[in-house]
């Protein structure tokens, strides 16, 4: 079968959305005749990679908007408009390619968001959409704890997503999808509202087998220490974990490391001072990947209390390193973490979340044997569900099913 993939973001040796587009396409190319449409700016890195890795049989076609528009999109000022218009350009290119190559099906991979259409769904072949996310939102019970600026950000995000659902081409994308893959149950509900009939929840995240092997070699920490890694944004929930750490009845020798930077840095450092834990909470700023992994080796538990997150690769990486995860029972982290690999906190109210987070910290600190067992189970879960090779097998099964229906 010859498969056409749409991957606006697709680039090797980089994280986030480009990593999803590249790694999934590359892995699928081991068993399928894969043709990828992506942006022109991805060409230098992809060409360089393919020249040095000729065993990778991936066909890549590049397209983009006129150069004058690229100028106005400098520093991604118009990224959302650029992405939307690029989908139209990709459709006309895909239509020409289909007449020439006769694809068996078309698959949209990136961006991983449900609230923008894929015009390639208009091709007269089966269309697979996703995994797409973005249907996650801060629970209403937590909105009252946000300051005016944070509340405005959350409401703006909510309105943009809901208004986008009025786009007739988005509804057409959903209705024409033979299967729609949602990153979380929240997004699955939005896809159903849009008219998608066949919906499956599937995380968009993955790790290469070599990376899993590398992370698995990180030795267990000899000291109980909590760590959080990520951008310091209000919706990451680090203010909740700081309050929980302050409330926890823990030995003074146990500390908490926070890696990352962002607009909430001053607020969080001030909060640590107010809670009288500044001497035990260490804000390390943004570190390189190697430095971050070094710090992860010295920690025993990842704390990731995100209020809405469709993915959270950091949880998968920590689990691969044998670190259990404490997270909220929300979004992508809740799909990754099980009762055997960490502790999920119900999102009821800020007060109850802080109390439950605190209890989870105390429990894992007092039971290093259970912490170690969870770490081993975490590594096994990543190998079984979150490697790109496993992810490609799941997608391949979907391709086979589409072929059967088509025939």
Share of the chain above pLDDT 90, in %: 74
CATH architecture of the domain with residue range 209-385:
3-Layer(aba) Sandwich (3.40)
Cα–Cα nearest to 174, from 128, 210, 140, 209: 128
105 vs 178: CA distance, rounded Å: 10
What is the pTM assigned to this prediction? 0.91
3 pLDDT band (50/70/90 cuts)? very high
Residue 374, token pair as written in the block:
């969870």
Q: Residues 329, 173, 78, CA angle at the centre, nearest 5°?
A: 80
Taking only the tens place, the pLDDT of each residue in 6-40 is 999 999 988 788 999 999 999 999 999 999 999 99
Residue 296, token pair as written in the block:
């992860």
Spell out where 164-232 has E strands: 177-182, 199-201, 225-229
Taking only the tens place, the pLDDT of each residue in 60-106 is 999 998 877 777 777 777 788 899 999 999 999 999 999 999 999 99
402 vs 50: CA distance, rounded Å: 29
Say which CATH class 2-206+387-406 falls into: alpha beta
147 vs 124: CA distance, rounded Å: 49
What are the residue ranges of CATH 3.40.50.2000 in the chain? 2-206+387-406, 209-385
Residue 93, token pair as written in the block:
């290119």
Of 72-86, 127-141, 205-219, 265-279, which gets the smallest average pLDDT?
72-86
Residue 44, token pair as written in the block:
């230098």
**Residue 143 confidence (pLDDT):** 85
Taking only the tens place, the pLDDT of each residue in 142-166 is 888 888 888 898 899 889 999 999 9
Residue 332, token pair as written in the block:
């992508």
Residue 188, token pair as written in the block:
């699955």
Dihedral of alpha carbons 111, 117, 121, 126, sign:
positive
């Amino acid at each position: 079968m010859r498969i056409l993939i749409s991957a606006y973001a697709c680039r090797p040796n980089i994280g986030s959305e480009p990593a999803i587009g590249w790694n999934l396409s590359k892995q699928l190319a081991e068993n399928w005749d894969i043709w990828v449409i992506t942006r022109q700016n991805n060409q230098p890195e992809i060409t360089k990679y393919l020249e040095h890795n000729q065993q990778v049989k991936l066909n890549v076609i590049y397209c983009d908007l006129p150069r004058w528009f690229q100028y106005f999109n400098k520093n991604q000022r118009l990224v959302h408009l650029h992405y939307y218009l690029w989908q139209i350009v990709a459709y006309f290119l895909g239509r020409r390619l289909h007449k020439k190559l006769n694809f068996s099906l078309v698959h949209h991979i990136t961006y991983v968001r449900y609230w923008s259409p894929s015009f390639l769904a208009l091709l007269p072949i089966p269309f697979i959409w996703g995994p797409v996310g973005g249907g996650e939102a801060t629970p209403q019970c937590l909105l009252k704890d946000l300051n005016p600026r944070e509340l405005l950000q959350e409401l703006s995000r909510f309105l943009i997503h809901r208004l986008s659902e009025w786009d007739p081409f988005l509804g057409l994308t959903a209705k024409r999808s033979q299967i729609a893959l949602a990153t979380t149950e929240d997004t699955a509900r939005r896809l159903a509202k849009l008219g998608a009939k066949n919906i499956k929840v599937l995380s968009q995240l993955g790790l290469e087998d070599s990376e899993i092997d590398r992370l698995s070699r990180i030795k267990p920490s000899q000291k109980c220490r909590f760590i959080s890694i990520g951008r310091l944004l209000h919706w990451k929930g680090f203010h909740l974990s700081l309050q929980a750490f302050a409330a926890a009845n823990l030995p003074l020798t146990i500390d908490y490391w926070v890696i990352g930077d962002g607009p909430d840095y001053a607020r969080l450092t001030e909060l640590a001072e107010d809670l009288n834990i500044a001497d035990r909470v260490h804000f390390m700023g943004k570190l390189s990947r190697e430095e971050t992994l070094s710090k992860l080796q010295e920690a025993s538990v990842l704390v990731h209390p995100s209020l809405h997150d469709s993915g959270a690769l950091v949880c998968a990486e920590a689990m691969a390193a044998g670190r259990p995860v404490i997270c909220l029972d929300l979004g992508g982290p809740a799909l990754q973490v099980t009762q055997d690999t960490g502790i999920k906190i119900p999102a009821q109210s800020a007060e109850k979340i802080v109390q439950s987070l605190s209890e989870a910290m105390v429990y894992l600190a007092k039971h290093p044997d259970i912490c170690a067992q969870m770490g081993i189970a975490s590594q096994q879960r990543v190998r079984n569900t979150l490697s790109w090779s496993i992810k490609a097998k799941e997608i391949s099964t979907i391709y086979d099913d589409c072929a059967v229906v088509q025939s």
